[in-house]
Structure 1
Amino acid sequence: MATQDLLKTLSLIWKGSRSASSLEGQSLDFKTEKPHTKETAQDLAEASVCFANAGGGTIVVGITDSGTGPAAFVGATVDIEDLRSRIHALTEPALVTDVEDLPFEGHRLLVIRVPQGLDVYSTKKGLVTRRWNDQCLPMRPADVSRLDDERRGNDWTVQPTDRGIDEIDPDALLRARSLLRGAPDETRRKLADADTLDLAKALKIVTGTRNRLTRAGEILLCRAATSANAEVIVYQYRATPGGEASAVRRWGTPLILSFAETIDAVAARNGITPVNTSSGQQLQVEDYPSVAVREALANAVIHGDYREKRPVQIEHSPEVLTVTSPGPLVSGITPQNILTAGSRARFPSLATAFRILGLAEELGQGVDRMFREMVRSGRSVPEVTEEDHPGLGTRVTFRGGPPNARITRFIAELPDAEREDTDTLLIVRMLCEQKTISATQAADVIQRDLQGTEGVLRRLSSGDAELLEPTAGTVARRHPTYRLRSAALAALGPAVKYHRRATTDVNRKIVEHVREYGTINNSTVQRVFDVDVYQARDILREFVGREILVRVSEQQRGVAVKYGPGPSFPEKRPRKKK
């Protein structure tokens, strides 16, 4: 955590707004000294091991967990060099940390910055833990082995099996050739007609002089692969999330066929909602965008840990769709950085074969596409979580239900560059929920640092899209507060929960319309302000209450009721002669 961000966090505790424990998370922990220096060093060595085995983190010494306000700041007395040396001596392999003083409101605090490890770390007592949200949890032997492989670059799927290319399933081979014929580049298209051995070599799934299939090749192209669970994918469909499953499918290897059939099973039960744009184009909005589901499943089967001997689980209902894979996220990837951390394959050999076949993204854009497609369909972003019970797993959750057609239509009419930009779409989604945002608020959502987030917001306020504008009171600040421009606000209409309307603007437009046409009705107000029937009703009620308008038609109910000038209708001022 950057010092500037840490100081803001400490200010929340000092002011009494938050306790230290409520601010702890995946990369931040607060500690106090123990009665003896030796005990303090042991406690901090254990906390450092915990962070090193995860994505690294920051430990602040001198603040109590439960207190708030100045009373929570008890300070630290331990010597910096002594503490650094003790942590180094108490860990295996020896862990190098950065320890520094941090004066705060008259108190001496210590900040220990722990890098993400290049190895699997433990204390000299053999304790191996890893940070999990705000806790340090013991690692199972399987977790230690998996983390050790990932950090050393060992690929379990590149190991040879006792199966040769003659055991490749004929249907799986036909499917592979079909995928390659549809590849965008000629090099891969030529592979479609290559002999089986050359094709397997191109996919990098054979090894040795005897041309044995690797575990990746066996899982991908052979039936009853011993390298994987008997069931690699299990799919269940329910009419309601808590109801009985009305359809259950189970697939074993070859994975290339199971993957395709799973996609077909989801598509067969995926509803479509038509949405018309202002240009007359009709968009077919799926309950769950097929691109997003495909990427979620590809990530699950590529990065799921086959050593767990558990299948990828898909739970599908009209309201929610979840894809759960065995094993945690790959080391260094967390739900908080999954959009920007880049692609890191748990099994590079299997991932390479998938990419050559065109079943996975080349440049790690799969997660971006999941988020982008969900927002474009007028729905909330996917939720990515790691679960530790009953076994480690990674879950991607998509929320279904009717799409927000206004958001879908608005995004479809953005300039091409912004329509394909994940940052833009996430910020638009945020501003449908809240009136203003700052770089500090948006940084966690788009998963960029403060400077990068500010650059995105400034681009959206001055680029081709001109979606945002800084508020008048913050325009001169280094990090202004931004809101949607009036044109974007009008286009989104009811999709924006707060729907800002300037009173003077409403007055002017209503009065000008009545002066020109004599009357106004609910339907006209809907068109002028891009609001729904109920919002238009409330606007007219306000004008009638102020006696600016009165009902002038015999019809008393409905959107066609006409209103004309009332007793308080403003008179038109004559122009002054020059």
Structure 2
Amino acid sequence: MATSTQVRGVLAQIWAGATPGSLEDTQLDFKEDAKSKKDSLRIALDAALCLANTAGGHVIFGLDDDVAGPDSFVGTTLDATEVKKYIHDNSRPRLLVDVDDTLHRERRVLVVTVHADHDIYSDAKGRAPHRIGTDCVGMEPATQQRLREERRGFDPSSVPVTGHEVDSAALMRARQRLSASLRPERNALAKLSDSDLLRALGVADAAGQLLDAGRRLVGTDGTSVVYQYRESPGGEPRTVERLVGPLLTVYDRVLELISLRRQSTPVTLPDGQQLQIEDFPELAVREAIGNALIHRDFRMDGPVVIEHSPSVLVVVSPGPLVAGVTVDNILTHPSKPRNRALTAAVHTLELAEEVGRGIDRMYREMIRSGRPTPTIDATFEQVRVALVGGAPDVHIARYVAQLEPSVRDDTDAMLVLLRLCTTRIVTATAIAPLLQKSVAEAEASLRHLASEPVGMIEPTRQTIRAAHPNYRFRETAVKQLASVLPYARHTSDEIDRRVMAHVQEYSRITNATVRNLFNVGTLRANQILVSLVERDILTKTSKAQRGPSVEYGPGPKFPKSSDRRRRKNRSR
């Protein structure tokens, strides 16, 4: 849930030019007064109920959603005590909220803070809305029941089931996993009888009755997946496989199908080591597939659908995110499995060791391979995860590969890196929503990345003493990433002009000088010099023909001094 510090940070962003509507999410809603006080109070009630039935959050009165900057602060006439009492008196059960009457730059706003708990809240007529994205929608009775069960810890995978057969191949696969474990206590499980093994995995009760977790894990009709491969995202399917069977064997088959079509791009590091960058990082794929199979809502009909093409991998699983988890907190929310017995079993089988390390791992692996972060969309009906593949940005992949392992494995570091590849400056206030952390936590992450021995970023000189400085890449990072930084690129005309100006003044230039002029690496500096030599603007003037001691001077087509002065005078 957002903190008061985050609210102040959001208000500061709006004052600086953002529109309130662009900052709304599952836990943040902006409102302005209605035509009457009664209507305004009703709006406050509906918004509070939505947040209480989702993941909590803030409703902020006194801003116009669609207006940017200071003009969006239209103020409010609502009374804090009256709002709190109206929400309490008109909700079932009674909902207690915190209401703060505050000023931002002399503009009055009302901040209603809503906490989520185990109850489902409705109005006096029994209407119980919840928030999906930025929309407030009503819940059907079945939806309310599911949400209530999840909030109170009900585990649907722990319910005994009858009439389902155990697949012998799945049991064999379970034993193979246990035998391959590095933990002796798990090796011993592989030698148990079938019934004892199911009990040890927690997917059968003491009497040997199969639980729903057992049906899903090793049952002949445990889960269903539709896998489709297309040569382009919008093209006709070239391969369609409908898989029905135990989760253990279906999972292996899906990974096999994706692996058969895996492509890679070679990336050479400065030390000569060569990396193979996969079109879809294997660890990210395992996370996406595993989460869909293990954490889906089995009470909703339909298969997990996987759409695979060379440029995108989409995984769609039935059911919403578990109660309390939203797309806006999924990176940092504590682990909350819907199917706890099933999750515990796959952990024992060490399948969870491969796929259960969190959504943050999926984000991290995508950035490390030079690709954008996953796109996650969640509705009541489904959760959709999209991984963008295709050709990676080899410059980012090469840079990340040279970082210390502790930095490469830091999701915050990877997210900050990716953001700085599109914007020159980041602040804790601006980066906090991306990291899904408080402003204070975001500031701590930025300071860590700016400190030694990490030293990836630095505060600007003008803001270094501020509570929340502006941070930018250090010069070494800019040199290695210059070709992907829009603010560090130079036009060919600008490059020619600056090189010729230097040669005009000093009569020579070297690779090292070009690197310093444009904040680029050795390879890019060499490309610049080769281009100028090929156009006869420069020529090699030193005896050395290779290496750092090569010097360049004016070539046959190097502009004469009078030509340069004439162009300069014309520009005036």
TM-score category (smaller protein):
0.7 to 0.9
* Range with bigger deviation, 509-518 or 491-500: 509-518
How far has the Cα of 1:89 moved from its partner?
2.2
User: TM-score, normalised to structure 1's length?
Assistant: 0.84
Distance 1:145 1:155 in 2: 13
The answer (yes or no) to whether the contact 2:407–2:454 under 8 Å persists in 1 is yes
Tell me the secondary structure at the aligned position of residue 531 of structure 1: helix
Q: Is 1:221 aligned with 2:210?
A: no
Which residue is equivalent to 2:463? 474
Paired residue for 1:188, among 186, 189, 192? 186
Within a 5 Å distance, the mapping from 1:345-364 to structure 2 comes to 345-361=337-353
Q: Higher relative contact order at CA 8 Å, sep ≥6: structure 1 or structure 2? A: 2
Q: Is 1:531 aligned with 2:512?
A: no
Paired residue for 2:386, among 397, 419, 435? 397
Which residue is equivalent to 1:564? 554
Within a 5 Å distance, the mapping from 1:401-412 to structure 2 comes to 401-412=390-401
Which residue is equivalent to 1:422? 411
Distance 1:430 1:65 in 2: 25
The letter of the residue matching 1:81 is T
Q: Percent identity between the aligned chains? A: 35
Distance 1:393 1:186 in 2: 39
Tell me the secondary structure at the aligned position of residue 252 of structure 1: strand
Paired residue for 1:494, among 477, 483, 493? 483
Which residue is equivalent to 1:556? none
The answer (yes or no) to whether the contact 2:287–2:355 under 8 Å persists in 1 is no
The answer (yes or no) to whether the contact 2:511–2:522 under 8 Å persists in 1 is no
Q: Is 1:162 aligned with 2:162?
A: yes
- Describe the shift of the 1:277–1:31 C-alpha distance in structure 2 as closer, same or farther (beyond 3 A): closer
Q: Is 1:464 aligned with 2:465?
A: no
* Range with bigger deviation, 81-90 or 494-503: 494-503
How far has the Cα of 1:333 moved from its partner?
1.5
The answer (yes or no) to whether the contact 1:440–1:450 under 8 Å persists in 2 is yes
How far has the Cα of 1:328 moved from its partner?
1.4
- Describe the shift of the 1:107–1:422 C-alpha distance in structure 2 as closer, same or farther (beyond 3 A): closer
The answer (yes or no) to whether the contact 2:479–2:519 under 8 Å persists in 1 is no
Deviations 1:78-99 (A, max 9, x none): 3x33432332221112111112
Deviations 1:223-272 (A, max 9, x none): 135xx6xxx11100000111110001111121111111001001111112
How far has the Cα of 1:378 moved from its partner?
1.3
- Describe the shift of the 1:518–1:87 C-alpha distance in structure 2 as closer, same or farther (beyond 3 A): closer
How far has the Cα of 1:474 moved from its partner?
2.0
Q: Is 1:445 aligned with 2:434?
A: yes
Question: Gaps spanning 5+ residues in structure 1: where?
Answer: 554-559, 570-578
Tell me the secondary structure at the aligned position of residue 83 of structure 1: helix
- Describe the shift of the 1:137–1:39 C-alpha distance in structure 2 as closer, same or farther (beyond 3 A): same
Which residue is equivalent to 2:373? 381
Q: RMSD across aligned C-alpha pairs, in angstroms?
A: 3.7
The answer (yes or no) to whether the contact 1:44–1:87 under 8 Å persists in 2 is yes
The answer (yes or no) to whether the contact 1:519–1:562 under 8 Å persists in 2 is no
Within a 5 Å distance, the mapping from 1:134-283 to structure 2 comes to 134-163=134-163, 167-209=165-207, 211-225=208-222, 232-283=224-275
Q: Is 1:6 aligned with 2:7?
A: yes
Distance 1:416 1:521 in 2: 31
The answer (yes or no) to whether the contact 2:509–2:553 under 8 Å persists in 1 is no
The letter of the residue matching 1:295 is E
Question: Gaps spanning 5+ residues in structure 2: where?
Answer: 542-549, 563-572
Within a 5 Å distance, the mapping from 1:121-140 to structure 2 comes to 121-140=121-140
User: TM-score, normalised to structure 2's length?
Assistant: 0.85
The answer (yes or no) to whether the contact 1:120–1:144 under 8 Å persists in 2 is yes
The letter of the residue matching 2:213 is A
How far has the Cα of 1:193 moved from its partner?
1.4
| Aligned length, in residue pairs | 544
- Describe the shift of the 1:393–1:162 C-alpha distance in structure 2 as closer, same or farther (beyond 3 A): same
How far has the Cα of 1:38 moved from its partner?
5.0
Tell me the secondary structure at the aligned position of residue 401 of structure 1: coil
